[in-house]
Amino acid sequence: MAEHPEASHVVGGVDTHKDLHVAAVVDHQDRALGTESFPTTRHGYRLMLAWMRSFGDLQRIGIECSGSYGAGLLRYMKAAGVEVLEVTAPDKLDRRRRGKNDDFDAESAAHAAFAERHTVTPRSRDGMVESLRVLRVCRKTAVQARRIALQMIQTTIVCAPDKLRDPLRQMTRMQLIRTLAALRPDLTAYREVEEAYRISLKSLARRYLELHDEIADLDDMIEAIVKDLAPELLGQTAIGLNSAAQLLLTAGDNPERLKSEASFAALCGVSPVPASSGKTVRHRLNRGGDRAANSAIHIIAIGRLRLDPRTQAYVAKRIAAGNSKLEAIRSLKRYIAREVFGIIMRRQKQINQTQIAA
């Protein structure tokens, strides 16, 4: 590999793909030095790091899609002690002027990392929060599949022969599922319409029950992780398991990357956005950020508005001061984000102290 002693330090950028990553390097004056492709394997990551360091002292790397195609590269670079930034958006003006290909995208990532613009500190994805994310994704797809199985059962019953359909029409959902799962159709008579319906309904019911059990097992694992990570979070009013899990995912394994509770609020999309004009001074809802986290905080706010006298008094006070109910709820969501962030950071500090002591 060529040596370039004239460069005091360099910054890298990577455009990530499934099978190949395209890397670029810029020097201390933000001038492109070269681009190269590497396979998405540990050997490829090692070659990429050596290639970047051959140009000089590697300060940091900007990676696109560090949560998907770039996840493996992110873990490798962090293990190697390299500072990694996630590039959040390409430079649209530069793309419009130069066009688009993988080399240009890699160079744009390197330029963004050099200037530290359109970049954020990525979630580390190497702790229990990453385990929680994977299990929740699995659960979500299982819930979708279970719902589809139930819809297919209901649709099939509507079209079934009267002799089969009539006894099933008045049953509750679980009665229906267990009755269908216990059917004993004649598997050799699948050419007959009624037996074909029986075979189909039994298969769908068994699929539903298997998915139901799978979801229950995943829920137990998710609950155990959430209790390990932030038991205090579950003890707060109107914060359920799903909301707590989502807020932990948004904070990530390294919540210290968020500089303040205001950063967490902005990440959750509950920070106030000025919407003033003339003599009217007001703020509106933030429509950016992590919408799943925003939904979780909204569910918590509505739950507290129904259950918590202090929250009811707070919202009534805001409305009496001239705010609309939506504006009062916006302020409440901002307060909840502050409370949640404090709990997460205190728990993270306890975990870090325990690891140091061990």
Q: Where in the sequence is the domain holding 271, given as residue range(s)?
A: 232-357
Separation between Cα atoms, residue 125 and residue 296, nearest integer Å: 21
User: Could you tell me the CA-to-CA distances from 19 to 62, 171, 202 in Å, in that order?
Assistant: 19, 51, 42
Q: What angle do CA 112, 89, 287 make, to 5 degrees?
A: 130
How confident is residue 7, by pLDDT bands cut at 50, 70 and 90? very low
pLDDT for 46? 96
Co-location of 135 and 247 in the same domain: no
Q: Which of 338, 216, 323, 175 is nearest to 270 (CA)?
A: 338
Does residue 236 sit in the same domain as residue 174?
A: no
> 229, 257, 281: which is the final residue of a domain?
229
Taking each helix axis as running N to C, give the angle between helix 128-159 and helix 193-229, from 0 to 180 degrees, rounded to the nearest 10. 160
Rounded Cα distance, 24 and 110, in Å: 6
CATH number at residue 114: 3.30.420.40
Q: State the chain's maximal CA–CA distance in angstroms.
A: 86
**Whether residues 110 and 224 fall in one domain:** no
Instruction: Assess whether 182 and 150 both reside in one domain.
Output: yes
Q: Classify residue 2: in a domain, yes or no.
A: no
Both 105 and 166 in one domain: the answer is no
Task: Specify if 177 maps to a domain.
Answer: yes
Q: Does the residue 3 lie in any domain? A: no
Q: What's the CA gap between 337 and 269, in Å, rounded? A: 10
Task: Share the mean pLDDT of the chain.
Answer: 90
- Per-residue model confidence (pLDDT) at position 97: 75
148 shares its domain with 112: no
Residues 6+ apart with CB under 8 A from 330: 270, 272, 283, 284, 285
Share of the chain above pLDDT 70, in %: 96
What does the pLDDT average to over 211-228?
96
Domain stop point among 94, 120, 146:
120
Helix (H) or strand (E) holding 267: helix 261-267
> Is 163:118 a contact under the CB 8 Å cutoff?
no
What's this model's pTM, rounded to 2 decimal places?
0.83
pLDDT at 285: 74
Mean predicted confidence (pLDDT) in 133-141? 96
Instruction: Decide if 297 is inside a domain.
Output: yes
79 lies in a domain? yes
For the chain, how many structural domains are there in total? 3
Residues 116 and 153 in one domain: no
Q: Is residue 153 part of a domain?
A: yes
User: Where is average pLDDT lowest: 2-6, 133-137, 157-161, 349-353?
Assistant: 2-6
Q: Output the DSSP codes for 30-68.
A: S-EEEEEEEESSHHHHHHHHHHHHTTSEEEEEEEE-TTT
Using DSSP's 3-state secondary structure scheme, residue 289 falls into coil
Per-residue pLDDT, 91: 67
**Other beta carbons less than 10 A from residue 95's beta carbon:** 13
pLDDT of residue 144: 97
* Residue 329 falls inside a structural domain: yes
Contacts of 14 (CB under 8 A, 6+ apart): 21, 22, 23, 24, 48, 61, 62, 63, 64, 70, 73, 106, 109
Q: Are residues 349 and 240 in the same domain?
A: yes
Residue the block writes with tokens 């984000």: 337
Q: Which of 178, 194, 229 is the last residue of a domain?
A: 229
Residues 346 and 239 in one domain: yes
Percent of the chain topping pLDDT 90: 73
Range with the lowest mean pLDDT among 78-87, 114-123, 299-308, 336-345? 114-123
What pLDDT shows up at residue 88?
A: 86
Q: What is the pLDDT of residues 22-67, one digit of tens each?
A: 999 999 999 999 999 999 999 999 999 999 999 999 999 999 988 8
Q: Do 167 and 218 reside in the same domain of the chain?
A: yes
- Residue 174 falls inside a structural domain: yes
pLDDT in tens, 182-210: 999 999 999 999 999 999 999 999 999 99
Pair 178, 112 in one domain: no
Sheet holding 20-26, edge to edge: 32-39, 20-26, 9-15, 57-64, 83-87, 119-120
Q: Let me know whether 23 and 66 are in one domain.
A: yes
